[in-house]
Chains A and B, each alone.
Chain A
Amino acid sequence: GAGVSQSPSNKVTEKGKDVELRCDPISGHTALYWYRQSLGQGLEFLIYFQGNSAPDKSGLPSDRFSAERTGGSVSTLTIQRTQQEDSAVYLCASSLVEGQPQHFGDGTRLSIL
C-alpha cells in the first residue's frame, strides 16, 4: 500500500481482556517496528522485525505482550490480560531495510477501562 496501515484506529476494552493490534507495512519494506507512546510522553521501542524474525524482544514491557509477523508483511501485536497502564497509542513503522528512515502508521489508540 501507499503507507503503513494500522487497525483498529481506536480500541476500548475492559481490563483483563486480550487485544490484537494489526500493522500492514509499506509494500517491500523488510523492517517493521512497534512503539508505544503514552500521553505526553516520548516513543517507547517495543519490538523490531527483520523479515519474520524478531532479533530483539527486550523492549516488550512484560510477558503479556507478544508479536508476530508472517509472510514478511503483516504484523500483529497481542496484549493479554490488559491492564490500565497498557492504555497508550501503539505505533507501527516500517523501513525499506534496517537503518533507513522509518515511516509510521496513524497508530492504534488503546484505552483500557
Chain B
Amino acid sequence: RKEVEQDPGPFNVPEGATVAFNCTYSNSASQSFFWYRQDCRKEPKLLMSVYSSGNEDGRFTAQLNRASQYISLLIRDSKLSDSATYLCVVIDGGFKTIFGAGTRLFVKA
C-alpha cells in the first residue's frame, strides 16, 4: 500500500460545479497535512494547510479525518483557473514529506 494515495482522475467538471478530492495516508502517526496545486510544468504551490477542525479559504474547504486517515479538499463554484493537479502532502515525524501522485482537475466552460 502506498503511503499516500490519491485518485489520479482526471476529474472533468463544468464551471460552477462543486468537486471533492480525497487522499488517504497509511501512517497513523503523521503530523502535518497540506494541499498543494501544481500547474503544468510549474512548481507546486501551497494551497492550504489541513486541520482536524477543518478550515476554509474562500471557495476551498479542507478537512482531516484522523480516525479514518484521510484528508479531503472541496472546491465550490469551480472556475476555469482551478484547472490543475492537486497534491496531497503528509509529513511524518517532522521531516519525512510524502507527496501524493496528484489528482488532475479540468474545469470546462
B45 at interface (Cβ–Cβ under 8 A)? yes
Interface string of B51-65 (1 = CB under 8 A from A): 000000000000000
A101 touches B34 (CB 8 A): yes
Q: How far is the CB of A77 from chain B (nearest CB, A)?
A: 16
What is the size category of the interface that chain A forms with chain B?
20 to 34
- Which residue of B34, B42, B44, B91 is within 8 Å of A43 (Cβ)? B44
B43 touches A107 (CB 8 A): yes
- Which residue of A33, A35, A42 is within 8 Å of B100 (Cβ)? A42
A109: nearest residue on chain B (CB-CB)? Answer: B41
B46 touches A101 (CB 8 A): yes
- How far, in whole Å, are A31 and B32 apart by their CA atoms in the complex? 15
A99 touches B95 (CB 8 A): yes
- How far, in whole Å, are A107 and B46 apart by their CA atoms in the complex? 15
- B contact residues around A50 at 8 Å (CB): 95
- Which residue of B45, B94, B99 is within 8 Å of A42 (Cβ)? B99
- Which residue of A35, A43, A55, A107 is within 8 Å of B95 (Cβ)? A55
Known contacts A99-B31, A99-B32, A99-B91: does B46 contact A45 (CB below 8 Å)? Answer: no
A56 at interface (Cβ–Cβ under 8 A)? yes
B91 touches A105 (CB 8 A): no
A106 touches B97 (CB 8 A): no
A56 touches B46 (CB 8 A): no
B85: nearest residue on chain A (CB-CB)? Answer: A42
A104: nearest residue on chain B (CB-CB)? Answer: B43
A42 touches B97 (CB 8 A): no
A43 touches B99 (CB 8 A): yes
Q: How far is the CB of A29 from chain B (nearest CB, A)?
A: 13
- B contact residues around A105 at 8 Å (CB): 43
Binding site for A on B (CB under 8 A): 31-32, 34, 42-46, 49, 87, 89, 91, 94-102
Closest 10 interchain pairs by CB? A42-B101, A104-B43, A43-B99, A98-B94, A98-B95, A101-B46, A99-B94, A48-B95, A99-B32, A104-B44
Binding site for B on A (CB under 8 A): 31, 33, 35, 41-43, 45, 48, 50, 55-56, 91, 98-107
